[in-house]
Chains A and B, each alone.
Chain A
Amino acid sequence: MTALPTENSATRLRRPRWLGGGSFAIVAFAAAALALLLLLAIFADAVSPYDPLRQNLMESLQGPSAAHWLGTDDLGRDVLSRLIYGCRIAVIAAAEATTIALLIGVPIGLFIGYRGGWWDWVVMRIVEAIVSIPGIMVAIVILALLGTGLHKAMIALGILFSTSFLRLARGVVLAEREEVYVRSARVIGASDRRILLRHILPNIAPPLIVQTTLTVGAVLLAEAGLSFIGLGVQPPDASWGTMLSTAAAFMDLHWFLAIPPGIAIILTVLSVNLIGDVIRDGIGRGIAVAARQDAPAARFKAIGTAVSSSLALPPPRPDEVLRVEGLQVTVASPGGPGVPLITDLSLSIGKGETLGLVGESGSGKTLTGLAILGLTSVALRTTHGSIVLNGRDLRSLSQAQIEEVRGNEVAMVFQDPTTSLNPAFTVGSQIAEVLRTKKGLSKKEAWERTVALIDRVGIPRPAERARAFPHELSGGMAQRIAIARALSCNPSLLIADEPTTALDVTVQQEILDLFRDLQAEFGMAILFVTHDLAVAADICDRISVMYAGEMVEMAEVGQLFARPRHPYTRGLLTAMPHASDRNPPLPTIRGSVPRPGSWPVGCRFSNRCDFAVPACATRIPLTGTDRLVRCIRADELVLEAAQ
């Protein structure tokens, strides 16, 4: 049942990202178009129905007909024949200019990259100067020197495009020459040329192939442009650019003349670019195979969703802020009912209370926090359950209403403060923005309140720090800012997602103290997500333990540590570093958290549990009144307490 749809994911990976589906057909089409172009270029004499230069003024400017499939031009020449001979020019032009660019750019780039020093400096300054002139102007200046004509134009384009090959080759050499294998080759006395040929050329090939395809496309467009303005191929020779130049003069009389050469240029350039994209994607993947990840949906096999009716939570308390009942979140899976990530989750938090949500990575803790805010990513959906905040079910609210609730009634502090603040704005403006949009404060009021908040979270010189950008602050200070922003509208619920995990140990304690102080002052409820039981023990009133998308135990913090009732909780407690002696190796829970979609049908912990019995293969409900546990043997097992 854990079989992954490998076939499916393999074909997905082979597709270029920008096309999604059906790209094989497009690549095949591009290859076929280029093959046709090449054949027409080679066999132009045999294929074309007429002599491309034969004039017949009696038949000028005709539309498509049986005799002339694409009509005739102003001098009565057959457009199809000229188009076919244009293929030859296009192929020659692309090959000539690209070869010249490669032959000039690569050797010089390799040489200056390897030599460095004076040579490198002078050549690079010249390259910079050339690059700062618009490309077509460079070509025009070179043509002023050489005179006009196809081959001269291609030499000009070759020189122009050689700069990109030069920079590419130089860059690769600079990167490679410091690689260990080149240095060690030098140590054993290999000659310079040998080092270059044997070690650097193989590494330069992939980016060079990509650059070549890019250049071919650019050359085709540039050749057409130069011929169009009369500096490339000269009349009466047929090239697509000169054909368009003719067409331009007759746009009001016979616009069709512009269509065939235009389509030919577009199709050719498009085909070259498409193939270049595929090559680039292929090479990119060769460098970083694991870097791309498809949507998680592709990796999971859908299983039947077992939704057991949610168990009676303790009756609502008068000071209850948040009450979640029977929450289920699923990830969409193609052609299936969706793979559950969180099932049957119920919890409640009272005013001024801190509920800890603990568990290993992948147990669904952070997702729970995001689901409460309605901020899960597009592929995820909350399918069941209610999320009642201050007496209102958030799931029934419209987008505008939930945006109103966020910030005002519930706010969130994230794990990494350096990435949860926007790098483009000052920290003060990010707090003030919330105050202005949510509370309608004026610019001045919002700023004053911002400085007061920054002062309140314990940052010295708040007025000055408010003008700092996130990257100018330490992690601890950035997290204080994030907390100040979250509390700016005085929410009744604060969701803190691992807020101390990314910080230094010494700073961790300060931030925990800050949470405690602020809770005493503002009285908000806190849902504190953490994988660190020591942190949870420090700050929480009650703790919910999550495993594989469901809650397995919930208890008041003292009771949970003194007498865990679920084998998983016990496993977590004994795996805490300071909960065991130093001499024996730290106990661990064998195995790892199963992925969503591959959860055991019954108790999801059963395959890692030392106490599993056959009865564990059925769905286990959460039982208890004061403290809850999801274990069929909870009453018979006596699990050792943590110290």
Chain B
Amino acid sequence: MLKLVSRRLLALVPLLFIVSVLTFSFTSLLPSDPVDLIIGDTGTQEQYEVVRERLGLNQPVILRYIQWLGRAVQGDLGTSFFNSVSVADAVMQRLPVTLSLTLVSALIAVAVGTAAGIAAALRPRSWVDRLATVGATIGQAIPNFWFGLLLVAVFAVNMRWFPATGFTPISASPWEWLRSVTLPAIALGLSSSAAIARQVRSAMVGVLQQDYIRAARAQGLSSRRVILKHALTNAMVPVVAVLSFQITVLLGGSLIVEQVFSINGLGTLAITAVRQQDIPMIQGLVLVMVGLVVMVQLATDIVYGFLNPKARPS
């Protein structure tokens, strides 16, 4: 397992390098001059030169990239063009918000998707199966932010069970955190639940026809044990592969769902940065997100290795 982890970590270095080159070169293609954006129309030539000097924009691109990379490796992602906030601080401050949302919605998606998928697979063509498949098909067509609006209307505005907006950190109050994260997480997790349900169903139907399931039953193991241990362990192998992709999707989706619930997470930061063309902020955000995705992939690879012994390096 250690071998697997270290091998994967090594493979990440070139990926992160390419992403950093891409984002850096891409953002230096921006049509507008950030210095103009900062000093405004009334700025003088002297002010222009000073700001340009301060941002280091008078140096060649390659040099700027090397300096930026050198600092990024040490955890310094630069300073926002607009409010002299450290990018790393701004991102780290909002990271727990977006992470809470993404992880809770991933948990919901796995729980709902797996339960629905198993229920459908146990009795193919039954009404349970039809209901789950039709539900999954519709679930994948519903925009997560629209579902979020409905949840707000029903459970926040009408019933007042949950707050309509805002986010409470888990450190402040675990209960309030749960209440603030529930509706957005359900809204965000809907389409992933649907995708996972479809995946679990097809994997489970295939696994239930395998000899080893019949052999386990022949050995007198209870139905519950056969389905939840012997069948599910194998059916989750393809599901875990999908899960890694789904968490990336959830991370992206959270940027939009945050807006429905006025949650001040990475999404708000990204949208503001785009509007202001705040280059260091965009670069930092992309890099952090890729880092998150990469960690998720690593985690799912490890789980994959546990579920599927053939995938482990010997």
Contacts and interface: CB of A to CB of B under 8 A. Distances in A.
Given A129-B19, A141-B26, A251-B153, A231 B271 contact: yes
Nearest to A471: B310
B221 A434 contact: yes
A125 B18 CA distance: 7
A403 B222 contact: yes
A256 B36 CA distance: 44
A274 interface: yes
Interface string A250-268: 0110010010011001110
Given A20-B130, A125-B18, A137 B252 contact: yes
Given A145-B30, A471-B310, A482-B215, A422 B230 contact: yes
Contacts of A611: none
A258 B142 CA distance: 13
B309 A406 contact: no
B223 A399 contact: yes
A251 B26 contact: no
A126 B22 contact: yes
Given A252-B164, A482-B215, A262 B146 contact: yes
Interface in A4-36: 18-20
Interface stretch (B59-67, B69-77, B285-293): B285-293
Contacts of B129: 20
Interface in B1-25: 14-15, 18-19, 22-23
A424 interface: yes
Contacts of A547: none
A19 B149 contact: no
Contact of B143 (A247, A262, A273, A421): A262
Given A137-B286, A225-B143, A423 B293 contact: no
Contacts of B215: 412, 414, 420-421, 482
Interface string B265-286: 0010011011001000010011
Nearest to B261: A248
B143 A433 contact: no
Given A132-B294, A225-B143, A485-B219, A416 B252 contact: no
Given A135-B252, A422-B234, A406 B146 contact: no
Contacts of B248: 132, 134-135
Contacts of B198: 18
Contacts of B146: 224, 244, 258, 261-262, 265-266
B133 interface: yes
A128 interface: yes
A407 interface: yes
B26 A424 contact: no
Contacts of A370: 214
Interface in A132-154: 132-137, 140-141, 143-145, 147
B206 to A, nearest CB: 13
A111 interface: no
Given A133-B286, A420-B215, A437-B221, 7 more contacts: A128-B18, A132-B297, A135-B248, A248-B149, A265-B141, A375-B218, A421-B215
23 contacts: A18-B133, A18-B198, A19-B134, A125-B18, A129-B18, A137-B286, A144-B282, A145-B26, A145-B27, A224-B143, A244-B146, A244-B149, A252-B164, A258-B149, A258-B153, A262-B143, A265-B143, A270-B141, A420-B215, A421-B212, A424-B309, A485-B219, A486-B219
Interface of B: 14-15, 18-19, 22-23, 26-27, 29-31, 123, 125, 129-130, 133-134, 137-138, 140-143, 145-146, 149-150, 152-153, 157, 164, 198, 210-212, 214-223, 225, 230, 233-234, 237, 248-249, 251-253, 255-256, 259-260, 267, 270-271, 273-274, 277, 282, 285-286, 289-290, 293-294, 297, 307-310
Interface of A: 18-20, 125-126, 128-130, 132-137, 140-141, 143-145, 147, 217, 221, 224-225, 228-231, 244, 247-248, 251-252, 255, 258, 261-262, 265-267, 269-270, 273-274, 277, 370, 373, 375, 378, 399, 403-408, 411-412, 414-416, 419-425, 433-434, 437-438, 469, 471, 482, 485-486, 489
